[in-house]
Structure 1
Amino acid sequence: MRPDKRRERIVAMVLERERVSVDALADALDASRETIRRDLAELDGQGRLRKLHGGATLPGLSLYEPDREGPFQARLAENAAAKRAVARAAIGLFRPGDTLFVDTGTTTLLFAEELSRARGLTVITNSAAIAALASRGEDAQAFLLGGEYRDGGAECLGAMAIDQIRRFHAVHAVLTVGAVHEAGVLDYDAREAEIARAMVAQARAVTVLADASKFDRNAPFVVAPLEAVGRIVTDAVPAGPIADALVAAGVEVVDAGGPARDVAP
């Protein structure tokens, strides 16, 4: 296999699995371990993945220390395939020249992986990892909001970050939330909800990225009423009262498809 083809296969495997060992890559690609290590070093230098001892991971995930347990790291593993499907569907909604606020979250981190392959987008974010990924896009600009730094999510929060958000105006706010409820889109963290609300106030349109597990949950902090949301990208179209509420509020539901799900008899 030609080196360029092999490296594209390596990137594809890392994107699919999020973390892959040298042994697994060597076996799958019928290459020596030393060849794979050289490929990983080359791809790491290009910013396309992060080389680790014994393997590789996504470049954004490396900022969250994959070997360290924590709440954000645990959420990265929850519904990962569904979140990735949502992220891949969402990137097609934006065009060169668009300016996007993007808040911190596990789904928006995966969305940032797609931003790294997009063209002509300007991204304003409070996430160090999302800024790093978004800046790799062709003809891209990325602005990282400052403020009080929270290590767990590699994010900036608080009054300083909110003040900086007010200095921008974006076409879109792209948000991840803790819950989608008839009461609105909600979050479990008061300070993250403040950031998201500030982004909504400074954007022309709001896109929410939410896998199906977020529907009909409840959370204590309101980010925005449903009427303020233009569209929700999800891996499974909701049904029942929440679906009726979305229709009544004029929210477009974008079906990302997503992984196969078990259906109860």
Structure 2
Amino acid sequence: MNQEERMEAISHYLIGHSSIQIEDICDMFNVSKDTARRDLVRLEEDGRIIRTRGGAMKSSRKEDIPSYEVRMENITEDHRKIGRLAAEKVRAGDRIILDASTTVQTCSAALEGKECTVVTNSLHQADLLASYHSVNIHVVGGILHKSHRYMYGNEAVNSMSRFFADKAFIGVVGISEKGLTVAHEEDGAMKRKMIEQAGEVFVLADYSKFDRNDFVKIGDLEEVDHIITDRPPGESLQSYFKMKNVTVHLV
């Protein structure tokens, strides 16, 4: 059974049940926990479920997004490998931008010992980095998104425009020939400005983000220099990346 078939089966299961656990998916389809989590990530991106700690429940609203803490519970070793490879791209003295995504936080966690300056709109990123003596931190001001603990709004975007960075590390929901997309405009406006302010743009995304589009476009592939991921995209998208001079790094 392929991923699309499992996703349909999970959705059908949730018609008659209020929730499903990772272990249930593993038993039903004889797959690993990482595979089960990836299935739930895809279903969440389609707006068909709400991921919870250790599983998911059905959703009738696409805008229902679990809290940052719940999403961090679903971070896999593949995500951590993506973050570690991203951190390897940071050189001594670099000025870098980090967005508020959970995948980018795995990069933050691997920055210990790196001498760099970080600009971020994420209180989670800042809190994690505060214990790293070699990292200088600038947090942009703005309106606080209480559930996900990031700054947004015109003040935050204007604050970000004051900084120029060597590299930006961005997480997205979708990557396709149409560009980069995320779920919400408030998040998208900040990511667009981060891309504008960086000399090099790194997109951190697991393979499930390929050939997908969400609600808000934040940039074209011409604006991306590198994609760090866990599996290669399909041949068509690979060819498009090559045409747009986007380098794909596999963990």
CA–CA distance in 1 between the matches of 2:76 and 2:148?
17
Partners of 2:87 and 2:108 within 8 A in 1:
no
CA–CA distance in 1 between the matches of 2:133 and 2:233?
35
Partners of 1:124 and 1:145 within 8 A in 2:
yes
1:205 aligns with 2:230: no
- Comparing 132-141 with 183-192, which one deviates more in the overlay? 132-141
Deviation of the 1:81 alpha carbon: 2.1
Query: Normalized against structure 1, the TM-score is what?
Result: 0.68
- Read off the aligned partner of 2:108 and give its amino acid letter: A
> Identity rate of aligned residues, in percent?
28
- RMSD of aligned alpha carbons: 1.8
**Which residue in the other structure is 1:236 paired with?**
231
Deviations 1:175-210 (A, max 9, x none): 001111111111111111100001111111100100
Partners of 2:121 and 2:140 within 8 A in 1:
yes
Once the two structures are superposed, the pairs formed by residues 168-179 of structure 1 within 5 Å of their partners are 168-179=163-174
**Which residue in the other structure is 2:83 paired with?**
87
CA–CA distance in 2 between the matches of 1:93 and 1:119?
11
**Which residue in the other structure is 2:99 paired with?**
103
CA–CA distance in 2 between the matches of 1:252 and 1:97?
23
Number of residue pairs the alignment of both structures matches: 189
Q: SS of 2:127's equivalent? A: helix
CA–CA distance in 1 between the matches of 2:73 and 2:87?
21
2:215 to 217, 220, 239: 220
Partners of 1:120 and 1:137 within 8 A in 2:
no
CA–CA distance in 2 between the matches of 1:202 and 1:144?
15
Deviation of the 1:136 alpha carbon: 2.8
CA–CA distance in 2 between the matches of 1:249 and 1:134?
33
**Which residue in the other structure is 1:32 paired with?**
none
CA–CA distance in 2 between the matches of 1:146 and 1:218?
29
Once the two structures are superposed, the pairs formed by residues 133-148 of structure 1 within 5 Å of their partners are 133-148=128-143
Query: Normalized against structure 2, the TM-score is what?
Result: 0.71
CA–CA distance in 2 between the matches of 1:72 and 1:134?
17
Partners of 1:207 and 1:230 within 8 A in 2:
yes
CA–CA distance in 2 between the matches of 1:248 and 1:125?
31
Once the two structures are superposed, the pairs formed by residues 64-75 of structure 1 within 5 Å of their partners are 70-75=66-71
Partners of 1:119 and 1:138 within 8 A in 2:
no
Partners of 2:163 and 2:197 within 8 A in 1:
yes
Partners of 2:188 and 2:216 within 8 A in 1:
yes
Unaligned ranges ≥5, structure 1: 1-65, 257-265
CA–CA distance in 2 between the matches of 1:183 and 1:82?
26
Q: SS of 1:118's equivalent? A: coil
Once the two structures are superposed, the pairs formed by residues 1-265 of structure 1 within 5 Å of their partners are 70-78=66-74, 80-115=76-111, 117-256=112-251
Deviation of the 1:237 alpha carbon: 1.5
Q: SS of 2:240's equivalent? A: helix
- Read off the aligned partner of 2:182 and give its amino acid letter: D
- Read off the aligned partner of 1:85 and give its amino acid letter: K
**Which residue in the other structure is 2:44 paired with?**
none
Deviation of the 1:124 alpha carbon: 0.3
CA–CA distance in 2 between the matches of 1:105 and 1:166?
19
Partners of 2:75 and 2:103 within 8 A in 1:
no
Deviation of the 1:79 alpha carbon: 5.1
CA–CA distance in 2 between the matches of 1:177 and 1:87?
14
